[in-house]
Amino acid sequence: MSKIKPSKGAPYARILGVGGYRPTRVVPNEVILEKIDSSDEWIRSRSGIETRHWAGPEETVAAMSVEASGKALADAGIDASRIGAVVVSTVSHFAQTPAIATEIADRLGTDKAAAFDISAGCAGFGYGLTLAKGMIVEGSAEYVLVIGVERLSDLTDLEDRATAFLFGDGAGAVVVGPSQEPAIGPTVWGSEGDKSETIKQTVSWDRFRIGDVSELPLDSEGNVKFPAITQEGQAVFRWAVFEMAKVAQQALDAAGISPDDLDVFIPHQANVRIIDSMVKTLKLPEHVTVARDIRTTGNTSAASIPLAMERLLATGDAKSGDTALVIGFGAGLVYAATVVTLP
């Protein structure tokens, strides 16, 4: 018989507060068109994107995270000193170590909170939320801060017609804490590594070692390009539309609810056409509010779901206590979907 005492966590977990930060610079499609042969109409029709935010030199991954987290903590009414863990999902923190979460935890004033980064691309928020729920129910933390943050403008090839217009920067954060009733449903998550080539970094960092620059991509002026995100658009679109709708339905089933029970749908903000197709496939009723934050924010990967959630609540399009289906999907290919009660 085990001598380990049972954990004393909360019976359930819930999102208590949400915050977001969008960089001050707003970039319209016209700026993107300076480097690619396309049109504003084409970009809008293919993606739904009209503008996106790009971070300035001072709007670092850490700085944006601190701003978003401060708003989430204020929204939850929780002091940073009570945060037991900080989980940061990002693919655009360029230091291999230490984790940017440790700097964020310190700058926020946590009391030596556990802090670590995860790399799960556009599904990162769902992965972090699931980890936070587990920590709270298990008892290793009373409150957990989950952050999705990206500076994807640093990983965008502005000469790539297929991706130059897609990406934006920003940070979204939520405070997850104890609950006496279910407020974060079971997570349906997974990966399809056999499709990892459909979304990837163009060049690995080790190719930039001194003396190893052979066969590196060059820009129009003959300069070596910085690594960027590239994707096979049609393959990603088909996968997202057909496979992720199935995952979303599985999350509804796991939570024991039907589309009619939903108030809000917050998918990863990858593409308006993908969002609209998922709405149709899931047969969501007209009363369900659908997040389409991508129109003015672009694709912010791990930050897209909390940013969209924050905007819906701020505008009144969603309200506290609403039941929302959230699903993220992206590079890997990875995915995570769950049903939550909005803070």
Which residues form the catalytic set? 122, 268, 299
Strand segments, DSSP code E, in 142-293 are 143-151, 169-179, 188-191, 199-201, 229-231, 264-267, 289-290
| Residue 28 CA from chain centroid, whole number | 22
Q: Which amino acid is at 191?
A: S
| Nearest-angstrom CA–CA distance, 246 and 288 | 18
Cβ(179)–Cβ(14) below 8 Å: yes
| Nearest-angstrom CA–CA distance, 94 and 100 | 9
DSSP codes, 19-57: EEE--SEEEEHHHHTTTSS--HHHHHHHH--SEEEE--T
**Can you read off the two tokens belonging to residue 190?**
């997974």
At 224, phi and psi to the nearest 5? -65, 130
| Nearest-angstrom CA–CA distance, 207 and 227 | 10
| Nearest-angstrom CA–CA distance, 111 and 308 | 29
Task: Give me the torsion for CA of 26, 28, 32, 34, rounded to 10°.
Answer: -110
**Can you read off the two tokens belonging to residue 203?**
């060049």
Please state at what angle helix 100-108 crosses helix 61-76, rounded to 10 degrees.
50
Mapped onto helix, strand or coil, the DSSP state of residue 135 is helix
Cβ(303)–Cβ(162) below 8 Å: no
What sign does the dihedral 240-203-296-146 (CA atoms) show?
positive
